[in-house]
């Protein structure tokens, strides 16, 4: 890579690091926020849910906006919005102010993140160079989340508002670097017709309603949950009908002809569901049952951050040796093993007893996350890279919401009282949710391994040979893919 290419990559890694550290720090600060602002449990969960709704609801629209209006323009503008509303969150004196600030911050991340990913996939040539860039990028994002767990604990001890002010400083530095290193590019030429506003509104409404229904499933009535999910599905059907007949669709439905892209998104959704559900349960176990402090819990879980080291240093060589499909399957099976080892969790487990699960989960994240990102954007036309990134991150975000809600619902249903034995029974029951999600993701990914080995040769880089099969991300594929 040239010096300027390294500069571009470092800027975008800084942005995904910012997004990861922002989410992790807020998780740690929630109890202090509730105590200071006098929030009820229902209001407190909206501090997190508002971000999820903004992020998951507008991600797909954000990805397409990068393709239509310019990736650099979208990245710089929404990074600025992220900076401003993160600071406003730190100044909030009422719960509703913080909730609004978090929603807008989530929307900003929904536009900023796919724009950044598409800048990488259009700056670096497809193949080893892009793979290396994406693996460094994904490892940095994971490192941000792991670092945020510890930094959030330290900042919260000084005052929860620093959890919002610290990202302002980091955002400002990244913004200045982006203006210096990310090259200007002309706005993409419009080929005629209008922006698919109807498609954007219906898909955003669909995702917001579905995420909202999943988020509220554990603390609202069944009728309300079904009504919200039904409205979301109706909006999704309307979106598909609009896209099928639109001259300039927001999402060209033909992109889903790529079996590799569909499998990557489904596996990413389920992997995120298992990862976030498991992490949520471990935090509850350590703090509610074991009485560990926020900082002790943060340091206990930081071992998961080993993926930040493995992703850029080891995974590129593994991709070259075994290919993306096998690495994804290996990562999902490793995650399944991590969850299975934690199933018999006891009331007095030593940290060394928990360590194998946490360490294996970090390895699993390194093996699966980067290759999933590569496969989900591989072979997609340059003018649709923002869309491909938006699809993938929408899958991750929806999976996180689904996993958190499902594990919470099972945990609540299986916990008969506040007694330690009852709490432990609830955790053990809910731990089956992440395990089931990881196993289903592994099953889906196994078809990818089969598709890449049946009737074709594979080169040393893990790609199909040019004379035997098309690239895995192309939209026109043989039936065997």
Cα–Cα distance between 395 and 400 in angstroms, integer? Answer: 9
411 or 271, higher pLDDT: 271
In the chain, % of residues over pLDDT 90: 28
Contacts of 299 (CB under 8 A, 6+ apart): 150
Q: What is the DSSP string of 24-86?
A: HHHHHHHHHHHHHHT--HHHHHHHHHHHHHHHHHHHHHHHHHHHHH-HHHHHHHHHHHHHHHH
Long-range contacts, 344-350 (Cβ 8 Å, 24+): 344/428, 345/285, 345/424, 345/427, 345/428, 345/431, 346/424, 347/289, 347/420, 347/421, 347/424
Tokens 């503008």 belong to residue: 77
Neighbours of 151 (CB within 10 A): 19
Per-residue burial over 63-74, b if 16 or more Cβ lie within 10 Å, else e, is bbbbbbbbbbeb
Question: H helices within 182-258, ranges in order?
Answer: 197-216, 222-245
Q: What pLDDT shows up at residue 469?
A: 39
pLDDT 10s digits, 87-135 = 999 998 888 899 999 999 999 998 998 888 888 888 888 888 888 888 8
Tokens 């569901």 belong to residue: 273
Provide the token pair at 477: 């594929």
How far is CA 277 from each of CA 74, 132, 218, 229, rounded to the nearest angstrom?
A: 32, 29, 13, 20
Provide the token pair at 385: 């890279």
Q: What pLDDT shows up at residue 428?
A: 92
What three-state secondary structure class fits 458?
A: strand
Neighbours of 244 (CB within 10 A): 9
Q: What pLDDT shows up at residue 421?
A: 86
pLDDT 10s digits, 15-49 = 988 888 888 788 778 778 888 888 775 577 678 77
DSSP 8-state assignment for residue 219: S
pLDDT 10s digits, 248-297 = 787 888 888 888 899 999 999 999 999 988 988 888 888 778 888 777 88
pTM for the model stands at 0.78
Question: H helices within 159-221, ranges in order?
Answer: 162-181, 197-216
Cα–Cα distance between 355 and 333 in angstroms, integer? Answer: 18
- 8 A C-beta contact, residue 277 and residue 406: yes
Q: 307-316, 328-337, 409-418, 449-458: which has the highest mean pLDDT?
A: 328-337
In the chain, % of residues over pLDDT 70: 90
pLDDT greater than 80 at residue 61: yes
- 8 A C-beta contact, residue 25 and residue 163: yes
């Amino acid at each position: 890579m040239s010096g300027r290419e390294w500069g571009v990559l470092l800027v975008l890694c800084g942005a995904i690091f910012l997004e990861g550290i922002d989410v992790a720090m807020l998780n740690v600060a929630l109890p202090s926020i509730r105590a200071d602002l006098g929030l009820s449990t229902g209001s407190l969960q909206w501090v997190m849910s508002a971000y999820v709704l903004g992020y998951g609801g507008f991600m797909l629209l954000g990805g397409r906006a990068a393709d239509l209006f310019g990736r650099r323009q979208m990245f710089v503008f929404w990074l600025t919005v992220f900076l401003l509303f993160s600071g406003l969150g730190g100044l909030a004196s009422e719960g509703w102010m913080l909730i609004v600030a978090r929603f807008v911050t989530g929307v900003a991340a929904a536009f900023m993140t796919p724009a950044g990913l598409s800048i990488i996939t259009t700056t670096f040539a497809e193949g080893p160079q892009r793979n290396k860039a994406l693996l460094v990028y994904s490892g940095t994002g994971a490192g941000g989340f792991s670092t945020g767990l510890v930094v959030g604990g330290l900042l919260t001890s000084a005052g929860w508002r620093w959890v919002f002010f610290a990202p302002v400083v980091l955002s400002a530095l990244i913004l200045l670097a982006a203006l210096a290193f990310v090259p200007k590019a002309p706005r993409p030429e419009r080929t005629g017709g209008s922006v698919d506003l109807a498609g954007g509104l219906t898909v955003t409404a669909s995702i917001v309603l579905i995420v909202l229904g999943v988020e509220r499933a554990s603390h609202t009535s069944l009728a309300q949950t079904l009504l919200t999910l039904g409205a979301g599905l109706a909006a999704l059907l309307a979106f598909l009908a609009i896209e099928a007949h639109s001259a300039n669709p927001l999402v060209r439905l033909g992109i889903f002809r790529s079996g590799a892209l569909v499998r990557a998104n489904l596996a990413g959704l389920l992997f995120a569901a298992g990862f976030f559900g498991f992490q949520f349960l471990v935090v509850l176990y350590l703090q509610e049952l074991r009485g560990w402090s926020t900082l002790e819990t943060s340091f206990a879980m930081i071992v998961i951050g080993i993926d930040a080291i493995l992703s850029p240093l080891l995974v590129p060589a593994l991709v070259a040796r075994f290919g993306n499909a096998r690495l994804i399957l290996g990562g999902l099976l490793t995650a399944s093993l991590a969850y299975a080892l934690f199933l018999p969790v006891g009331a007095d487990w030593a940290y060394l007893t928990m360590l194998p699960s946490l360490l294996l989960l970090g390895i699993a994240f390194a093996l699966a996350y980067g290759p999933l990102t590569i496969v989900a954007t591989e072979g997609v036309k340059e003018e649709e890279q923002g869309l491909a990134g938006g699809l993938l991150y929408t899958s991750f975000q929806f999976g996180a919401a689904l996993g958190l809600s499902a594990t919470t619902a099972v945990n609540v249903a299986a916990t008969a009282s506040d007694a330690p034995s009852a709490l432990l029974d609830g955790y053990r029951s809910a731990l089956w949710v992440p395990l089931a999600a990881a196993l289903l993701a592994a099953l889906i990914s196994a078809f990818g391994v089969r598709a890449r080995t049946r009737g074709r040769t594979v080169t040393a880089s893990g790609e199909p040979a040019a004379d035997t099969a098309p690239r895995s991300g192309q939209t026109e594929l043989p039936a065997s893919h």
